[in-house]
Amino acid sequence: MKITVTVNDQVYIRDAAPSKNLLHFLREDVGLTGTKEGCGAGECGACTVIMDGKSVNACLVLAPEADGAVIRTVEGEAVMGELSDVQQKFMEHHAVQCGFCTPGMLMSIRDLLQRTPKPSEHQIKEAIEGNFCRCTGYQQIIEAVLDVTGQLTKDNKGELRHV
Amino acid sequence: MLCEFDYLAPLNLPELFDALAAGGPDARILAGGTDLLVNVRAGLVTPKTVIDIKKIPGLQGLEYNEKTGLEIGAAVTVNQIAEDPRVQKNYSLLVACAESLASYQLRNRATVVGNIVNASPCADMAPALLCYEAQVVITSKQGSRTVPIREFFTGVKKTVLVPGELVEKILVPATYAGASGSYEKLKRIKGHDLGIVGVAMLKKDGLVRMAVSSAAPTPIIVKDCKASDSAEVLAKAALEAIKPIDDVRSSKEYREFMVQVYVKRLLERV
């Protein structure tokens, strides 16, 4: 069936099987492979995208359910090769190691920041509770979000502290 | 997906019931999809037709009225409940249960009605709905019937629903609006795990009411207790109601122990 989606401000019209999920539709039909498949069952969050303003697990949305939807994926973060603010802070804080969880993690954080521009540490933890990271231990990711929202400052030893 | 199916998105209830009748046993209703698509992927269900109910305007409603209470349409998501100021003000136990369910992005899709229709013993919305004496409105081509939530679950993943029926909405009466309530759930990790055991507590005037998840074939209600009862009396009542089993997630004894811990903890907080 014909499915029309707007992904990162660009319209795509593709023919896909109605039983295909949004994750595979984005990767195979739209050609955006930034969004990853981890568990495929709504547990790991690697496939998190923002659909009509809300974060969702793309593995648990059928492509036809997304017909007409406005979607944001990790590919919409960097503009003209320039990292987004959150991506930049991820890099600075070593919030990426293998990188597999990063696309989903970034979208969960993007969703958090549109709801809560200055989240507390607790709110950050809650926002990424559906995103598995097996490398960083999460602390660097939390620090990156605190930093991007202006909540980290350098003490007199040059170490970062929570404001 | 492992199986191929057709996708239908009816725009009203008559169209939906026609599609259900035409699809027969190979048709499945799709609301949030957070249970259905997991089961399809695992090969546990192999539908030939998937019928999306989210385009039916009548199922989107989340209404509150001081006299009649809360009405939750079949397409209302768990996050809609958790983030609604009227629900937050009047039904704190519903919010506590909603916030404990899976992860934020999953709650953006998962529906309250879907959670009880799936009828898992660990359904997180069930303990709250049991405590509030919710009514389940079941509609088919022939008309509607209303079933108290206490009679809705009949076994593990089993309900009173028969083929051709849809849970159209849930009514949460105003009787306990404003009552203090909370939910405690044991699991290995927050966000992506099935509950090991959960206890909900609701307190209003002289009454304490509890419901327990993951400790019997269905989510289960405990007989009413008095607000003056001690934690020991409440815990004893809860233990009499439940029938926990040993399984991969926990032993029967650990579940019983944690029910007592949670009853005590909730009594201090609620």
Clarify whether residues B79 and B163 are in a common domain. Answer: yes
Nearest CB to A18: which of B7, B37, B38?
B7
Is residue B211, in this structure, part of any structural domain at all? yes
Which chain B residues are Cβ-neighbours of A108 within 8 angstroms?
104-105
- The pLDDT assigned to B188 comes to 80
The DSSP annotation for A62-86 comes to: BGGGGTT-EEE-GGGTSBTTBPPHH
Is residue B121, in this structure, part of any structural domain at all? yes
Give yes or no for residue B190 having a pLDDT over 90. Answer: no
Nearest CB to A18: which of B6, B33, B38?
B6
- The pLDDT assigned to A12 comes to 98
Q: What is the mean pLDDT of residues A86-93?
A: 97
Q: What is the mean pLDDT of residues A25-34?
A: 98
User: Chain B: nearest CA to A43, how far in angstroms?
Assistant: 5
> What is the bridge-based pairing of β-strands B166-172 and B69-73?
antiparallel
Clarify whether residues B103 and B164 are in a common domain. Answer: yes
Where is the domain boundary, B52, B68, B84? B52
Give yes or no for residue A57 having a pLDDT over 80. Answer: yes
The pLDDT confidence band at residue A157, using thresholds 50, 70 and 90, is confident
User: E strands along B173-241, which residues?
Assistant: 180-186, 197-204, 207-213, 220-221, 225-226
Is residue B124, in this structure, part of any structural domain at all? yes
Q: What is the mean pLDDT of residues B158-178?
A: 97
The pLDDT confidence band at residue B207, using thresholds 50, 70 and 90, is very high
Clarify whether residues B264 and B223 are in a common domain. Answer: yes
Clarify whether residues B46 and B70 are in a common domain. Answer: no
Q: What is the mean pLDDT of residues B228-240?
A: 96
Domains A2-76 and A85-162 belong to one CATH topology: no
Predicted TM-score (pTM) of this structure: 0.95
**CATH assignment at residue B12:** 3.30.43.10
Per residue in A92-103, pLDDT (tens digit) is 999 999 999 999
Give yes or no for residue A35 having a pLDDT over 90. Answer: yes
Which amino acid, residue B143? G
Interface touch B191/A130, C-beta < 8 Å: yes
Clarify whether residues B127 and B79 are in a common domain. Answer: yes
Q: Which of B27, B1, B2 is nearest to A25 (CA)?
A: B1
Clarify whether residues B78 and B165 are in a common domain. Answer: yes
Residues of the domain holding B10: 6-52
Element (H, E) at B146: strand B143-148
Clarify whether residues B197 and B112 are in a common domain. Answer: no
Is residue B13, in this structure, part of any structural domain at all? yes
Clarify whether residues B102 and B171 are in a common domain. Answer: yes
- The pLDDT assigned to B240 comes to 96
Interface touch A55/B105, C-beta < 8 Å: yes
The DSSP annotation for B55-115 comes to: T-GGG--EEEETTTEEEEETT-BHHHHHH-HHHHHH-HHHHHHHHHSS-HHHHTT-BHHHH
- The pLDDT assigned to B132 comes to 98
Per residue in B118-130, pLDDT (tens digit) is 999 999 999 999 9
Whether the predicted interface score ipTM is above 0.85? yes
Q: What is the mean pLDDT of residues A147-162?
A: 86
The pLDDT confidence band at residue B192, using thresholds 50, 70 and 90, is low
Q: Which of B50, B109, B71, B44 is nearest to A52 (CA)?
A: B109
Clarify whether residues B123 and B102 are in a common domain. Answer: yes
Is residue B248, in this structure, part of any structural domain at all? yes
Where do the structural domains in chain A lie, given as residue ranges?
2-76, 85-162
Clarify whether residues B65 and B166 are in a common domain. Answer: yes
Question: What is the CATH T-level fold of the domain A2-76, as seen in this structure?
Answer: Ubiquitin-like (UB roll) (3.10.20)
Interface touch A60/B7, C-beta < 8 Å: no
Clarify whether residues B100 and B169 are in a common domain. Answer: yes
Give yes or no for residue A158 having a pLDDT over 80. Answer: no
Give yes or no for residue A107 having a pLDDT over 80. Answer: yes
- The pLDDT assigned to B1 comes to 60
Q: Which of A30, A66, A26 is nearest to A46 (CA)?
A: A26
Per residue in A15-24, pLDDT (tens digit) is 999 999 999 9
The domain A85-162 is placed in CATH, from the list 1.10.150.120, 1.10.340.30, 1.10.3720.10, 3.40.35.10, at 1.10.150.120
Per residue in B18-50, pLDDT (tens digit) is 999 999 999 999 999 999 999 999 999 999 999
Clarify whether residues B119 and B197 are in a common domain. Answer: no
**Average pLDDT score, chain A:** 96
Strand, helix or coil for residue A91:
helix
- The pLDDT assigned to A160 comes to 79
Which amino acid, residue A156? N
Structure tokens given for A24: 């595979």
Domain total in chain B: 3
**CATH assignment at residue B261:** 3.30.390.50
Give yes or no for residue A45 having a pLDDT over 80. Answer: yes
